[in-house]
Structure 1
């Protein structure tokens, strides 16, 4: 099995934070829906609109579950979300964005500071959250604006 095709990871196989895992860099352990998970940042960068301005995506309102948000975005027609899912990854949620900022502040990962990054958490029918990785500022903006995405993977820890 190749590194990027992992569906889960054994706790004993987890590297130190900031080290390679599953085709990216291991960011941290976190809990999602009662399950401990390993958050992995991929190197790929994609750019595009979050979705359609004025369209409410009911399944993309989770502040913690970026994978569910990204699937809902793709089902609603988001080309950006579909491209991220093709990588066997998802767009970080509001919480996952904060975890990425923490790892960046700890010097474990590098994120561009010259562009705003989409998060998968919808703010309203007209806007979605984005994050500035220079200082960790989170705001919301029109869904049809082009923003950068750094995909992540979230693997169950066995």
Structure 2
């Protein structure tokens, strides 16, 4: 029998930030597309290029919706996106990456600050965003660079 991934979380059952939830660490509550959600950081660490430089991926340019970005990336052949989805997670968007940085600054999660982390938000056909969790800054670079990706999961709060 396969284990079914948790699909929602009840507001009354949310743990404190930094505590275990749905296979990861509960980062924070946030709103996405009119739905309140729980952002969860997974322990897995992926590595690879964002995608093909010079190719604009339709549907991967949301600043806030990392799951939609990651699905578009995977459909275009991004190996790290496919791996993130196989973990029942996704690569965080710019917004979700900044929420992770806030949780790191509050001492609630651990994120490597010796390597740069890809975010799923695409800037153009040539560039995608990444985050440096050491200094907390957000910037972009060419898509073929080798970087880490730290998958997250997002559950609707009921």
TM-score (norm 2): 0.97
**Long gaps (5+) in structure 1:** none
2: CA distance between counterparts of 1:3 and 1:137? Answer: 37
Q: Which residue of 1 aligns with 2:84?
A: 84
2: CA distance between counterparts of 1:4 and 1:116? Answer: 32
Q: Which residue of 2 aligns with 1:70?
A: 70
Cα 1:63–1:13 shift into 2, 3 Å: same
1: CA distance between counterparts of 2:4 and 2:40? Answer: 10
2: CA distance between counterparts of 1:135 and 1:30? Answer: 23
Q: Which residue of 2 aligns with 1:22?
A: 22
RMSD: 1.2
Mean Cα deviation higher: 65-74 or 136-145: 136-145
1: CA distance between counterparts of 2:4 and 2:140? Answer: 31
Q: Which residue of 2 aligns with 1:102?
A: 102
Instruction: Please tell me whether the aligned partners of residues 3 and 22 of structure 1 are also in contact (alpha carbons under 8 angstroms).
Output: no
Q: Which residue of 2 aligns with 1:43?
A: 43
1:157 aligned to 2:157?
A: yes
Q: Which residue of 2 aligns with 1:124?
A: 124
2: CA distance between counterparts of 1:144 and 1:52? Answer: 6
Q: Which residue of 2 aligns with 1:145?
A: 145
- The alpha carbon displacement at 1:4 in A equals 7.6
Aligned residues: 157
Secondary structure of the corresponding residue to residue 147 of structure 2? strand
1:56 aligned to 2:56?
A: yes
2: CA distance between counterparts of 1:156 and 1:68? Answer: 15
What do residues 56-111 of structure 1 show as CA deviations (whole Å, max 9, x unaligned)? Answer: 01200000000000000001110110000000000000000000000000010010
4+ long deviations beyond 2 Å: none
Secondary structure of the corresponding residue to residue 97 of structure 1? helix
